[in-house]
Structure 1
């Protein structure tokens, strides 16, 4: 059947939005149960990437459930009432497809890339996983060991440790400060009943967004999704609305503490240092300004950090700036890896480059270069169906605003020198967190 499609975009409700690139068309539907379906049909492509996005992340874990979100990412591949773990793996392998999943702080995604003719199979298998996972007790214990090994692997990477410690130091006790994958203690402690409760509470029609890009027919996909979810036992109430997007009110003001300095001992050859502060939220209108600021400060070989710390002084191989936004808050930081004996000098340089940006702004040449870097990177990054699918899912769950590529490029190009300096001054004026990971005295 045809579905009526109110768009989360600049178009009028009920219309279609042309993305402006080789005739690609984006459409959105709200199905019974509050399930949302978004597609970007790209003429001429034989592949499709489809993702089932569930609006739950590590941020949503209550006491006793810590680590359950990442646990579920693993367990949904371990079998359902209709399929074993091998059945799930074979379904994609026998058609040359790829399937995987990712857990974030605010959402979880199960996705697959297949030929367009195999999309009905992918929708059926992923829907079966989302609606009917067994959460078998024996499989859970097996995966408990796998996840502990995954955490141990990450803990062996000092740059990963630095980023995890930085997020916790900036965001404090807020759930956004917790590691996405959980800690060894939380993974060892969480029982099967808690994981099952977390699954039942959050994996529901109103939290689900299905996004697909490539060779996809929107109306056919909507029908496939309804059929697959119904086969999984979900009751799809025609009058049920989608769950409202999180407003982030619980995170406003998070991290508004004084300066923090933290040293973490690791017996490694190189020190890893991050300096930064609270950033801006994912829906902040200044996110395009921040992207330009980030590109100029630490986004490439011509950036200030790279030129000053690596090219001019030879103090680091890797140095960059970064930003991540969430509902209600975000983090912003500057990173470098260096010889332990140079860590104080490098930390001072990171801070001075941020201050210099805040005091004097960037030049017109830097603005032009940064805008060009971002615009080119955006277009190149959207050359594959996986990136297009992710853009749809994140837009629906995070901002509620789906911009065409042309609109996104226009927003980047509209950033001014004054915009960058104003935001840089705000960020530089916030209390700073400094995290160092290296062979320092315990």
Structure 2
């Protein structure tokens, strides 16, 4: 039996796929009436269970009138429904030692809960009650506006957050992917409750909902719980509607031509530096090569950046490289923080290591990077939340899901020549430099 699970949602309601995974785990997919997609991964012996409700809408999908709405909704759905107050929602999970939360990205939103397996019915009911029946009252909206402004202020106090937001802006310019996920104070101050409600009505519905569950779960039970909760919430599950399509990954995204941004923050003790360029899409065939490249360049304590800038020269405490993919493009960068006097040298060394990657990598570096990726990949998937998240992201981005064994095989297939070709391309691209800290 093949290990690749085709996640492309068929048009026929009731369609189901089952496939065995590594070590006895079983993944199943069903399409419920209304186009609701349900994915489960049953993991033998695991007592925890995580449920997630996903929507393929993020900050990049907001119109000018709805700017800030995606993040606003993440907050408001926890403020209560027609059946539960905000305190009821919080107590439901505290009472059983569980946890609930949400995350808003640039391309998706997820509301999730992690509990022990016997409390999964409660978790499904509460999360989907929030999704279908949030009150979105004006009074809650006005109060939460202040909470979000405090969150933005907190992020503005963190130079690491500031530099990454400005880096996206520098590379992607006016594209929606370059906007802050949480919005700006001006946006949050101006957005109306009606705009957030319109955004909710436009993007939240059965055909856009993906429910994923992993751990000590039974697929048929989860499907029944989901159908009951959505019907209780008043969503129409009687029509044979096909699931919503995936995001178009073929649209072109132009890189910005604003290569340098200096943000003066005189109260900081350190200079924060981020040097990088446009990266690669989440579906790019070279994503495994990029992972190996990143591990060699700045993905750990044995990486070139860490060894050259911290260990050999003692110029910084924190230095690393990273990739941030999206549907049709991505970001790739190198970050470091140091005392202002050392910043010019650190910046020069960061650029030099980017260039040096294109000159070649050793067999020892290649094997060490593959081992690092393989180990971290397996360890990341040792809990039900990570397995739940993998299902949701795979459905939204790829349309198929590889077994852990196949993912490891793909990593081990990367060659030194693959890494050098990628490194040469990255080194040739126009770079952006963002500096946050005291006046130089």
Same fold (TM over 0.5): yes
| Rounded Cα–Cα distance in structure 1 between residues aligned with 2:134 and 2:343 | 48
Q: Aligned residue for 1:172?
A: 173
Whether the aligned pair in 2 keeps the contact of 1:290 and 1:423 (CA below 8 Å) is yes
Secondary structure, aligned partner of 1:134: coil
Whether the aligned pair in 2 keeps the contact of 1:50 and 1:113 (CA below 8 Å) is yes
Q: Aligned residue for 1:114?
A: 115
Q: For residues 223-273 of structure 1, what are the alpha-carbon distances to aligned partners after superposition, in whole Å with 9 as ceiling and x for unaligned? A: 1111111111111244211110001344x2321x44611100112000000
Secondary structure, aligned partner of 2:400: coil
| Rounded Cα–Cα distance in structure 1 between residues aligned with 2:186 and 2:216 | 44
Number of residues of Structure 1 aligned to a counterpart in Structure 2 = 430
| Rounded Cα–Cα distance in structure 2 between residues aligned with 1:109 and 1:361 | 40
Q: Aligned residue for 1:8?
A: 6
Whether the aligned pair in 2 keeps the contact of 1:33 and 1:206 (CA below 8 Å) is yes
Q: For residues 182-205 of structure 1, what are the alpha-carbon distances to aligned partners after superposition, in whole Å with 9 as ceiling and x for unaligned? A: 111101110110011111111111
Secondary structure, aligned partner of 2:22: coil
TM-superposed CA distance for 1:108, in Å, is 0.6
Whether the aligned pair in 2 keeps the contact of 1:51 and 1:109 (CA below 8 Å) is yes
Q: Aligned residue for 2:392?
A: 393
| Rounded Cα–Cα distance in structure 2 between residues aligned with 1:427 and 1:217 | 45
Whether the aligned pair in 1 keeps the contact of 2:275 and 2:432 (CA below 8 Å) is yes
Q: Aligned residue for 1:363?
A: 362
Whether the aligned pair in 2 keeps the contact of 1:98 and 1:112 (CA below 8 Å) is yes
TM-superposed CA distance for 1:82, in Å, is 1.2
Whether the aligned pair in 2 keeps the contact of 1:66 and 1:182 (CA below 8 Å) is yes
Q: Aligned residue for 2:92?
A: 91
| Rounded Cα–Cα distance in structure 2 between residues aligned with 1:259 and 1:187 | 26
Whether the aligned pair in 2 keeps the contact of 1:56 and 1:108 (CA below 8 Å) is yes
| Rounded Cα–Cα distance in structure 2 between residues aligned with 1:80 and 1:339 | 50
| 1:19 paired to 2:21 | yes
Secondary structure, aligned partner of 2:54: strand
| Rounded Cα–Cα distance in structure 2 between residues aligned with 1:258 and 1:194 | 33
Gaps of 5+ in 1: 1-5
| Rounded Cα–Cα distance in structure 1 between residues aligned with 2:244 and 2:268 | 46
| Rounded Cα–Cα distance in structure 2 between residues aligned with 1:176 and 1:154 | 18
Gaps of 5+ in 2: 9-14
| Rounded Cα–Cα distance in structure 2 between residues aligned with 1:237 and 1:347 | 59
Whether the aligned pair in 2 keeps the contact of 1:154 and 1:160 (CA below 8 Å) is yes
Q: Aligned residue for 1:281?
A: 281
Whether the aligned pair in 1 keeps the contact of 2:275 and 2:333 (CA below 8 Å) is yes
TM-superposed CA distance for 1:343, in Å, is 1.3
Q: Where does 1:46-85 land on structure 2 (aligned, <5 Å)?
A: 46-85=47-86
Q: Where does 1:344-363 land on structure 2 (aligned, <5 Å)?
A: 344-358=344-358, 360-363=359-362
TM-superposed CA distance for 1:419, in Å, is 0.6
Whether the aligned pair in 2 keeps the contact of 1:274 and 1:336 (CA below 8 Å) is yes
Q: Aligned residue for 2:433?
A: 434
| Rounded Cα–Cα distance in structure 2 between residues aligned with 1:235 and 1:254 | 40
TM-superposed CA distance for 1:74, in Å, is 0.5
Q: For residues 30-75 of structure 1, what are the alpha-carbon distances to aligned partners after superposition, in whole Å with 9 as ceiling and x for unaligned? A: 1111111111101112210111111110011001111110000000
Q: Aligned residue for 1:265?
A: 264
| 1:415 paired to 2:414 | yes
Q: Aligned residue for 1:3?
A: none
| Rounded Cα–Cα distance in structure 1 between residues aligned with 2:17 and 2:112 | 27
Secondary structure, aligned partner of 2:280: coil
| 1:424 paired to 2:409 | no
Whether the aligned pair in 2 keeps the contact of 1:8 and 1:28 (CA below 8 Å) is no
| Rounded Cα–Cα distance in structure 2 between residues aligned with 1:40 and 1:77 | 26
| Rounded Cα–Cα distance in structure 1 between residues aligned with 2:438 and 2:68 | 29
Whether the aligned pair in 1 keeps the contact of 2:49 and 2:117 (CA below 8 Å) is yes
TM-superposed CA distance for 1:15, in Å, is 4.5
Whether the aligned pair in 1 keeps the contact of 2:17 and 2:30 (CA below 8 Å) is no
Q: For residues 380-428 of structure 1, what are the alpha-carbon distances to aligned partners after superposition, in whole Å with 9 as ceiling and x for unaligned? A: 1111111111101100111112111001101100000011010111111
Secondary structure, aligned partner of 2:401: coil
TM-superposed CA distance for 1:7, in Å, is 4.3
Q: Aligned residue for 2:125?
A: 124
Moved over 6 A (4+): none
Q: Where does 1:223-262 land on structure 2 (aligned, <5 Å)?
A: 223-250=224-251, 252-255=252-255, 257-258=256-257, 260-262=259-261
| Rounded Cα–Cα distance in structure 1 between residues aligned with 2:56 and 2:204 | 8
Secondary structure, aligned partner of 1:322: strand
TM-superposed CA distance for 1:124, in Å, is 0.8
Q: Aligned residue for 1:298?
A: 298
Secondary structure, aligned partner of 1:27: strand
Secondary structure, aligned partner of 1:16: strand
TM-superposed CA distance for 1:339, in Å, is 1.0
| Rounded Cα–Cα distance in structure 1 between residues aligned with 2:231 and 2:5 | 25
Whether the aligned pair in 1 keeps the contact of 2:77 and 2:131 (CA below 8 Å) is yes
Whether the aligned pair in 2 keeps the contact of 1:55 and 1:107 (CA below 8 Å) is yes
